[in-house]
Structure 1
């Protein structure tokens, strides 16, 4: 049976884009050692710094948390690191003030291989009708090391809807997926738009 989120959380495909040939971490490190542009790209991934902290049996990517960041407010942090914390998200909505400006920050760890084209997809519904769908390309990342144990990425700023019609309860579904269309995490959650925090 198809998952009810399949369409909501499908990623868009870039016209003419082909997924590159996958290489091991060692192959990336050996690749075009004399090519300055390639070396700059590898440096941007963070290759060759520190000792890898992930074990071969660990998942390739572990999403640790999402945070709602709004100026002048304490961050609202959503723990995504355990099945127990994920299971409560739908039943414990948090509140966003109508018209407030905010952005989302994600913290994650990459284990034992280069993670290519990580993307965040989010669909929001109200009373069963989809009201928005957003995608955020996070990029490609080298395995986390002792020098850089986690990555933090901040999304683009958003503004919460405002007005009496916008207030109420919303259900959301989120998915972290790479350019192989491998889902690293998918979860449901909810929030309320209210007159005040």
Structure 2
């Protein structure tokens, strides 16, 4: 039960999730409102999506990327549940003491996604050492992918910091729909 509580997103007091609308309802909403039309355009609501009909997912997380010095150092394919599960068996390696940032690459299909968040809890030998909650944003369906960079972090360094860390991650939206949840691992090492 305590582990489940760690991946519940925080809620902003007074924030009320709006009524769910279809893409057609969004398109016709206040057609004369210029600022609303710009917002709808930023969601890509004018595009025709060619999302696969045999894939019901609304958010497809394609990859988690470890970016160091502006370069994609490690790209982890999480496009299917099976590929995401493999990351627990083959930990991502992070060099100690480097400044890095996580980046997520994803697609949105079939519907508008509101308030998508990424959460993760990092544990070392069963003890929680970090919790991250990042707002990814709201997006409309598109044939191309989106990328979201998170805030830079510094990997721990020193003899005691080296070793395996276990992570539980989750993508969830304002409607409390979990789009992907998986366990993975990384190792802090002296060198890449």
What CA distance in whole angstroms lies between the structure 1 residues aligned with 2:70 and 2:27? Answer: 43
Unaligned runs of 5+ in 2: none
TM-score by length of 2: 0.93
**C-alpha distance after superposition, 1:97-156 (max 9, x if no partner):** 1110111111111111101111000100000011110011010000113xxx21111111
Unaligned runs of 5+ in 1: none
Question: How many residue pairs end up in the alignment?
Answer: 191
What CA distance in whole angstroms lies between the structure 2 residues aligned with 1:163 and 1:172? Answer: 20
Aligned 8 A contact 1:5 1:173 in 2: no
What CA distance in whole angstroms lies between the structure 2 residues aligned with 1:96 and 1:105? Answer: 14
What CA distance in whole angstroms lies between the structure 1 residues aligned with 2:92 and 2:81? Answer: 19
Say which structure is richer in helix.
2
2:149 maps to 1:151: no
131-140 or 57-66, which deviates more: 57-66
Q: Runs ≥4 in structure 1, deviation > 6 angstroms? A: none
What CA distance in whole angstroms lies between the structure 2 residues aligned with 1:73 and 1:26? Answer: 39
- Seen in structure 2, the aligned counterparts of structure 1 residues 153 and 73 have a Cα distance that, compared at 3 Å, is closer
Aligned 8 A contact 2:65 2:72 in 1: no
Quote the RMSD (CA, aligned, Å): 1.6
- Which residue matches 1:166? 161
